[in-house]
Structure 1
Amino acid sequence: MTSPTTTTPATSGRNQWAARYYNVTPAVSYQGRYLSVRDARSALIGGRRIEGAAVLVYETTDRQGTALHVGYVRIPADFYTWAGQPAHDDTTVFEIPTAALTDI
């Protein structure tokens, strides 16, 4: 049994941990981590509430031909600042299998 904090998704019938996200900034670049589809949807919706943020969602396929939604959230540098760090845009990319979206 896998826990939500591991880097492999659970294989339950509902694919609870099927989404994957990447956070990219000039200082830090996270490799893909798994999270629930519900959390990914919440992050995309929350990004739309931030003034000046760019939120885009694309339908595509992965290398194996599986239907996939890619969500992109870019939060402007003036939304928040880090002490002692230059201002930068924060970008997060979500990969969500289409089958997992229809499972919610």
Structure 2
Amino acid sequence: MRPATLHTLMRHTGRTDTVRWRPERLTTSTARQLIRRGRRANAAVHIYETTDRDGTPIHIAHVQFGPGLYDNVESVTDIYEIPTAALTAL
């Protein structure tokens, strides 16, 4: 089973480009902790159930942080890809 993947996007104030980081592999428990931390920080958190290109069920968590997280940053978006089997495994 593959681990969760985190994609981070950042938009700086006054710029039109978006900074993207290389996708980062996380354990499922770490991804869940980071998503909960986003909820506590009043970020907009949305969870979607879908499938990947191979038809494997996954959950997508979209966490949108507004301004004020960092200086001169308009927004930060974290997108987590979590295999559904990893969430339901005992």
TM-score (norm 1): 0.73
**Larger Rg, first or second structure (1 or 2):** 1
Pairing 1:70-85 to 2, within 5 Å after superposition: 70-78=60-68, 80-82=69-71
Matched, 1:103 2:74: no
Percent identity between matched residues is: 36
Matched, 1:24 2:9: yes
Deviations 1:32-55 (A, max 9, x none): 11010000001111111113x100
TM-score (norm 2): 0.84
Amino acid across the alignment from 2:32 = R
Q: Cα RMSD (Å) of the superposition? A: 1.5
Gaps of 5+ in 1: 1-14
Query: Which structure's relative contact order is higher, taking Cα pairs within 8 Å and 6+ residues apart?
Result: 2
Gaps of 5+ in 2: 13-18
User: How many Å apart are 1:96 and its aligned residue?
Assistant: 0.2
Higher strand share: 2
* Residue of structure 1 equivalent to 2:56: 66
Give the paired residue count: 84
* Residue of structure 2 equivalent to 1:55: 45
